[in-house]
């Protein structure tokens, strides 16, 4: 256990007023466990989903749950794997553990977890690289989204590894770098001590030495959120406007029922930032009839943020349609690290495919050690391990 103060339990405020998260996970869990993805300095778990017939070169969507939630439950309620079935992208779900945070919040404010190549941020980056290497996913189409503490952590990843992501989706999240302690975290969540646009820009620019191009960002916020003040969504928009060199005034404003959408476009007329405010919505992920199921912090407001974010990213236009008869050829490392949904590592065996000659399957602990070495060698080559 890391030496976080006992006061960390105060972050239970992120639970809102709907109680703890629950789902019948025996039936709802569609995810498999990623067992080998590097040094994992943030001590996170990793879950994933690959729809049947996924093609090489498919996009990867990284989804970060909120406090008191877990990966399987968030997937069940948000509908991301349902959308992946229809469209053909891979899903990665980093998952928090109680040993790191008693309320299962990602540590979005802790300096040891929010800096490039450190802690939870590096763990998530290692998971992403492992998925890309094992499944020949498209590096130019990697996306990340999250709710609440997961939304804040999604912003951490966009800030610290902007070269990795094409775009992000931040739901009830927090601006990067505004909190480094628990009191600062609560102050930020409540919208106290506002920062100037210049201060927000500086925080983001200090996160990496990246010079662009920058990820596109979709921001979502409930106007009646009692947990994360709506001013945080404004700060996130200001932070990303700065690096995109956009004016503070939106290019256009649209109203769609209870949803107000402000859009900022670049010089080429492309939408690079959108800020969606849902009137009278509390703390949670907006859901509609298209995908997912309502539950704690998963709010049926007639708007599917899952669908809308994927549309903003441009991955639901049929570019990655599924081929039911196609089964990707995977190496031994891929088979071991990414077994089919519902199977465990010890249940999957296979010979190495590709240019190397076939060799006998390895069983037990020796097999897992071999798989881990293959993955770790690849991560070292990518500069993500020493």
What integer pLDDT is reported at residue 358 of this predicted model? Answer: 30
Phi, psi for residue 145 in degrees, rounded to 5:
-145, 165
Calculate helix-pair angle for 305-313, 80-87, nearest 10 degrees: 40
Calculate mean pLDDT across residues 77-106.
97
Q: Is 148 labeled as catalytic in the residue annotation?
A: yes
Distance CA 217, CA 383 (A): 26
Say which of 78, 81, 148, 218 is annotated catalytic: 148
Choose between 189 and 332: higher pLDDT: 189
Is the pLDDT assigned to residue 267 strictly greater than 60? yes
Is the pLDDT assigned to residue 3 strictly greater than 80? no
Which residues, 6 or more positions from 213, have their beta carbon under 8 angstroms from its beta carbon? Answer: none
Bond before 250 cis per omega within 30 degrees:
no
Distance CA 221, CA 232 (A): 9
Confidence bin at 333 (pLDDT 50/70/90): very low
Mean pLDDT of the chain: 83
Distance CA 93, CA 108 (A): 16
Q: Which two tokens stand for residue 269?
A: 């007329």
**pTM score, whole prediction:** 0.81
Q: Which two tokens stand for residue 171?
A: 């739901």
Calculate mean pLDDT across residues 110-137.
97
What integer pLDDT is reported at residue 152 of this predicted model? Answer: 98
Q: How does DSSP classify residue 295?
A: B
What integer pLDDT is reported at residue 382 of this predicted model? Answer: 67
Quick check: 264 and 225 in contact, CB under 8 A?
Answer: no
What integer pLDDT is reported at residue 30 of this predicted model? Answer: 94
Following CA atoms 99, 100, 104, 110 in sequence, which dihedral angle do they give, to the nearest 10 degrees? Answer: 160
Q: Which two tokens stand for residue 161?
A: 């590894």
Quick check: 295 and 70 in contact, CB under 8 A?
Answer: no
Q: pLDDT per residue over 201-252, tens digit each?
A: 999 999 999 998 999 999 999 999 999 999 999 999 999 999 999 999 999 9
**Domains contained in the chain, CATH given:** 6-313 (3.40.50.1820), 332-381 (no CATH)
Distance CA 333, CA 314 (A): 31
Neighbours of 48 (CB within 10 A): 27
Is the pLDDT assigned to residue 342 strictly greater than 60? no
């Amino acid at each position: 256990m890391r030496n976080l103060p006992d006061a960390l339990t105060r972050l239970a405020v992120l639970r809102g007023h709907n109680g703890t998260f629950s789902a019948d996970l025996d039936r709802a869990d569609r995810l498999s466990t990623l067992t080998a993805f590097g040094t994992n300095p943030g001590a996170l778990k990793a879950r994933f989903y690959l729809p049947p017939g996924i093609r090489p070169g498919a996009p990867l969507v990284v989804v970060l749950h909120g406090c008191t939630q877990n990966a399987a439950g968030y997937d069940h309620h948000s509908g991301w794997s349902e959308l992946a079935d229809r469209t053909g992208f891979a899903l990665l779900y980093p998952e928090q553990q109680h040993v790191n945070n008693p309320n299962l919040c990602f540590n979005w404010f802790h300096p040891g977890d929010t800096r490039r190549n450190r802690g939870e941020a590096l763990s998530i980056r290692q998971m992403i690289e492992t998925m890309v290497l094992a499944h020949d996913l498209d590096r130019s189409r990697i996306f990340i989204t999250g709710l609440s503490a997961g939304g804040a952590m999604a912003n951490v990843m966009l800030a610290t590894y902007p070269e990795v992501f094409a775009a992000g989706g931040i739901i009830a999240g927090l601006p990067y770098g505004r909190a480094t302690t628990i009191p600062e975290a609560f102050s930020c969540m409540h919208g106290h001590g506002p920062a100037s646009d210049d201060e927000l820009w500086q925080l983001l620019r200090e996160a990496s030495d990246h010079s662009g191009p920058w990820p596109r960002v979709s921001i979502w916020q409930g106007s009646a959120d009692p947990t994360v003040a709506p001013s945080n969504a404004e700060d996130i928009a200001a932070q990303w406007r700065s690096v995109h060199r956009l004016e503070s005034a939106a290019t256009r404003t649209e109203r769609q029922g209870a949803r107000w959408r402000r859009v900022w476009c670049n010089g080429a007329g492309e939408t690079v930032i959108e800020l969606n405010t849902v009137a009278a919505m509390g703390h949670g992920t907006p859901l509609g009839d298209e995908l997912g199921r309502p539950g704690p912090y998963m709010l049926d407001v007639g708007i599917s943020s899952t669908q809308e974010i994927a549309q903003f990213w441009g991955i639901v236009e049929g570019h990655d349609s599924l081929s039911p008869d196609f089964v990707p050829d995977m190496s031994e490392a891929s088979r071991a690290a990414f077994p089919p949904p519902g199977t465990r590592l010890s249940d999957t065996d296979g010979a190495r495919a590709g240019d190397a000659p076939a060799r006998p399957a390895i069983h037990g602990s020796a097999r897992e050690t071999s798989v881990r070495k293959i993955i770790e060698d690849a991560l070292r080559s990518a500069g993500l391990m020493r």
